[in-house]
Structure formats: structure tokens, C-alpha cells
Amino acid sequence: MSILGLHKKLEENTGLLIFGILLVSSIGGLVQVLPSLFEKSLETPGVNVRVYTPVELTGRDIYIREGCHVCHTQQVRPLLAEVARYGPASQAAEFVYDRPFLWGSKRTGPDLQRIGGKYTNVWHELHILDPRSVVPESIMPSYPWLATQMASDTGNIEAKLRVLQRLGHPYSEDDVKGAVASLQGLREIDALIAYLQMLGTGYDAAATQAGGH
């Protein structure tokens, strides 16, 4: 049957049309996306990469809840100026415990992937509670409620670790059992700062030397 004849059939048959659209639109995903899901280099942790502690994980989920990723990226591109400004370019192996990924798409504020250790905890607290007290020209919102809400009230940390365990993150039974206790007495802002301070610490200089991403 000629292509036109085949198409005539398609044009007049609901089922064939549905099937045709499904077929044609899935090729791209099958060729381009699916192989990446089996690409080992994208899911193997780097030598310096570890799972988030319960405190850091809680901080990360607060970062997500407040939508920090809406204005801050966590992705340093291998461009001269960008590496000079933020630090070494991102490596896939740094993100293997990130569910979801938080690379972001807009830099209203600076990139945060290499923020860990650059500022003190005190600076971060001042900045999060009242950004313009330390950066006068900042347009970041302030987050006063993070200083009054307790980290132990933020979600169910034990259930979170259980889910991540099932997804293959190497948490031990002791990690899960001790999770609630480790949040005791911490405010949400403490957990968030703990997360910010560990960002970028998974970088592996040797891997970049070897030509990896």
C-alpha cells in the first residue's frame, strides 16, 4: 500500500490514529531518554559522595518546600567565568542521592552548588531571616518562620529514610532508628543551614582530571 493510501486509512480510523500518535511520539523518548536510565555512570556515587544525614535531608526538604530552587540553581557549567565565580563544574556522580534533582532553571540569585563552607552558620542565619541585613541590594524574601518551627515537626523523617532505603540509598537500620533523635532541639533553619553547608562537598577533583563529568 502506498504511503498516501496508508495515510488515508489512518485519517479515517480512530484506533489507528491513536496508535500512530503514540508510536511516532515515543521514538524520541525510547532512543534518547531510556538509555540514560540504564547509564551506570549517571547512578554511581563519586568517591566523596555520601547519603544525606537525617538533618541534611530535612533541610533539603525545607529548601524544596520554600521553593529555593525557583531562584537558585545547583549546577555549575564548565565555562571559564562560571567556574571562576562558583567553583568546579558539576559532576553527574555528585547527584546520585538527589530525589528530586534540584539543578533549577533560573538564577535570580547565585548558584548554590558550591555554597557549602563558604559562609559561616551565623551569616546564613542572618541572611535567611533578613537577607538585606547582610546583602543590602538583595531581593530575596525573608523566612522568619524557619526560626520558630522545629525540624522534628517537618515531615516524617523515619518514613522518608525507609522510602529512600527502598530506593537503594545505603541507610543502615541504626540510621533510621536514630533519625528522630538526631532532629531533637533543632529549628528548621538549623536543618536548612546544615544542608547548605554540605552542598558541593561530594566533588571529586581526580574524576575531572580523568576527563569525566
Q: Given its phi and psi angles, is residue 130 left (phi above 0), alpha (psi -120 to 50 degrees) or beta?
A: beta
Q: Can you tell me the distance from the alpha carbon of 170 to that of 152, in angstroms, rounded to the nearest whole number?
A: 22
- Residues 176-205, one symbol each (x = binds other proteins by CB under 8 A, - = not), give ------------------------------
**188 with 151: CB under 8 angstroms?**
yes
Site for other proteins in 65-104 (CB under 8 A): 65-71, 73, 75, 77-82, 84-85, 90-92, 94-104
- Nearest-angstrom CA–CA distance, 72 and 62: 14
CB of 164 to other proteins, least distance (A): 6
Q: List Cβ neighbours of 132 (8 Å cut-off, separation of 6 or more).
A: 138
Among residues 1, 27, 47, 210, which is the contact residue for other proteins, using CB under 8 A?
27
Q: Does 6 bind other proteins (CB under 8 A)?
A: no
Distance of closest approach, residue 125 Cβ to other proteins, in angstroms: 16
DSSP letter (8 states) at residue 81:
H
Under rule CB under 8 A, which residues in 134-163 are in contact with other proteins?
Answer: 135, 137-145, 155-156, 159-160, 163
